[in-house]
């Protein structure tokens, strides 16, 4: 059961007493900032990042601080403890909340939960043994088998010393998807992997052999997962975001169809445009999974519709807010408010499905028009966009002129990115 923070008795006191601290500098970081301001009128969120991200550092709602060592556990914990000490010295009555933006920070915040709670933070992440268990893709698929949740045909190979020197590349159907079983560890080893990508699209035995050699000779010692390629374009992909309470019950859910995803090889698979769409089969599978493992807080599922048999196949669960969680707010439920009410105020969240018509979109209309092959889906997306008040998460009218200028620059830069990585390559990522 959630233990309410004794320093904050009601939502009316949140703006005065709560000090949020966000770790990271991406779209999710700013989404936290804007939605905390929208929900509770919080004027100052501390943001820790390793470099100057202008759309965050120019925001009037951020206290932006460069911390070069937060990509490592001890560096992160020391930085957060230093922030806590400073804030408590200035405002002894304040309560602290820490929020991460990617897999590696979610892992570190979960692993260091006891230490951070001792420093005064509310840490809205599941305990590390559970997080580490279900984020291993082999374990996730084992649970899918147990719970009758569809997933793609899959093979596993150890990249450590016990793994094969070469793969039986001629034995697999092509195309294939190759990805790490442990995404956080794979990211940590990125500088030792030639041609590193989040996900690899493999079209031939020769290409698989090349990818295997680059990973096998790196610092990554986890498993490489090979999967049957599910046919279909970007709009076959589905996303689902869930929020569960301390009893492991699903309390809030939202999701949609991915109209367009990033095709930059270093960001491949990140949704850039999502349209709200409810699928009962997806919600039912997620509910069974979350209840079975006793999950609490935010989770995000990656799914793809398989037109061959009409199933929705689950790829993975992210044990944190996804970078696109702002779409939950567009669907009618401020996502940052849920975290505060559950983990800081100790309130019970009523069940809600946040599917008010929405289009989450990080690219100009021109990019959608040129990139979406399904023209019926494109027209549907444009119609919904016209009814969505703030489809772009980085634009926020109450924020500073400079923040919104940088937000517009990032928005316009998507044209250049799509030209380089999609239009000029006939829809294929650069090899």
Instruction: Express each pLDDT in 133-145 by its tens digit.
Output: 999 999 999 999 9
Render pLDDT for 66-125 as a digit per residue (tens, 0 to 9): 999 999 999 999 999 999 999 999 999 999 999 999 999 999 999 999 999 999 999 999
pLDDT for 268 equals: 78
Amino acid 428: pLDDT: 66
Question: For residue 68, which phi and psi values (nearest 5 degrees)?
Answer: -70, -15
Q: In what order do the strands lie in the sheet with 154-158?
A: 154-158, 223-228, 176-180, 200-202
Whether 317 and 106 have beta carbons less than 8 Å apart is answered as no
Please answer whether residues 374 and 237 qualify as being in contact, where contact means their C-beta atoms are separated by less than 8 angstroms: no
Q: What domains sit in the chain, N to C, each tagged with a CATH number?
A: 11-125 (3.40.50.20), 153-228 (3.30.1490), 234-425 (3.30.470.20)
- CA separation, residue 147 to residues 129, 226, 286 (Å): 20, 22, 10
Q: How far apart, in whole angstroms, are the C-alpha atoms of residue 352 and residue 156?
A: 38
C-alpha–C-alpha distance, residues 430 and 420, integer Å: 9
Residue 264 has pLDDT above 90, yes or no: no
CA distance 249 to 102: 24
CB 22 within 8 A of CB 99: yes
Cα 423 to Cα 371: distance, rounded to the nearest angstrom: 8
Between 311 and 5, the higher pLDDT residue: 311
Could you tell me if 349 and 342 are in contact, meaning their C-beta atoms sit under 8 angstroms apart? yes
Residue 240 in tokens: 């689902």
Residue 146 buriedness (CB in 10 A; 0-12 / 13-18 / 19+): exposed
pLDDT per residue as tens digits for the range 56-71: 999 999 999 999 999 9
């Amino acid at each position: 059961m959630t233990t309410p923070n004794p320093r904050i008795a009601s939502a009316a006191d949140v703006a005065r007493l709560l000090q949020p601290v966000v770790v990271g500098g991406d779209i999710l970081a700013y989404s936290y900032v804007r939605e905390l301001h929208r929900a509770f009128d919080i004027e100052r969120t501390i943001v820790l990042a390793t470099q100057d991200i202008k759309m965050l550092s120019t925001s009037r709602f951020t206290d932006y601080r460069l911390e070069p060592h937060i990509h490592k556990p001890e560096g992160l914990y020391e930085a957060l403890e230093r922030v806590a000490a400073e804030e408590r010295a200035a405002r002894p009555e304040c309560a602290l909340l820490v929020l991460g933006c990617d897999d590696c920070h979610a892992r570190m915040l979960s692993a260091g939960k006891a230490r951070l709670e001792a420093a005064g933070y509310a840490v809205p992440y599941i305990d590390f043994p559970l997080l580490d268990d279900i984020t291993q893709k082999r374990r996730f698929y084992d649970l899918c088998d147990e719970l009758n949740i569809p997933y793609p045909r899959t093979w596993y190979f150890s990249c450590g010393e016990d793994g094969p020197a070469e793969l039986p590349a001629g034995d697999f159907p092509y195309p294939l998807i190759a990805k790490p079983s442990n995404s956080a560890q794979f990211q940590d080893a990125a500088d030792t992997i030639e041609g590193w990508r989040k996900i690899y699209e493999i079209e031939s035995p020769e290409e698989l052999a090349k990818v295997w050699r680059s990973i096998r000779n790196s610092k990554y010692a986890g498993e490489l997962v090979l999967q049957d390629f599910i046919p279909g374009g970007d709009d076959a992909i589905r996303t689902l975001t869930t929020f569960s309470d301390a009893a492991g019950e699903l309390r809030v859910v939202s999701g949609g169809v991915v109209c367009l995803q990033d095709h930059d090889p270093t960001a491949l698979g990140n949704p850039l445009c999502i349209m709200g769409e409810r699928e009962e089969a997806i919600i039912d599978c997620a509910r069974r999974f979350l209840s079975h493992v006793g999950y609490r807080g935010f989770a995000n599922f990656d799914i793809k519709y398989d037109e061959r048999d009409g199933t929705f196949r689950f790829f993975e669960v992210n044990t944190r807010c996804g970078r696109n969680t702002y779409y939950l707010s567009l669907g009618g439920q401020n996502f940052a408010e849920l975290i505060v009410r559950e983990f800081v105020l100790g309130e019970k969240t009523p069940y809600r499905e946040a599917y008010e018509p929405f289009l989450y979109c990080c690219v100009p209309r021109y990019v959608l028009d040129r990139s979406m092959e399904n023209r019926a889906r494109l027209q549907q997306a444009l119609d919904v966009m016209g009814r969505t008040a703030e489809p772009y998460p980085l634009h926020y009218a109450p924020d500073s002129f400079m923040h919104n200028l940088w937000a517009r620059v990032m928005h316009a830069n998507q044209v250049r990115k799509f030209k380089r990585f999609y239009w000029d390559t006939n829809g294929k990522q650069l090899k």
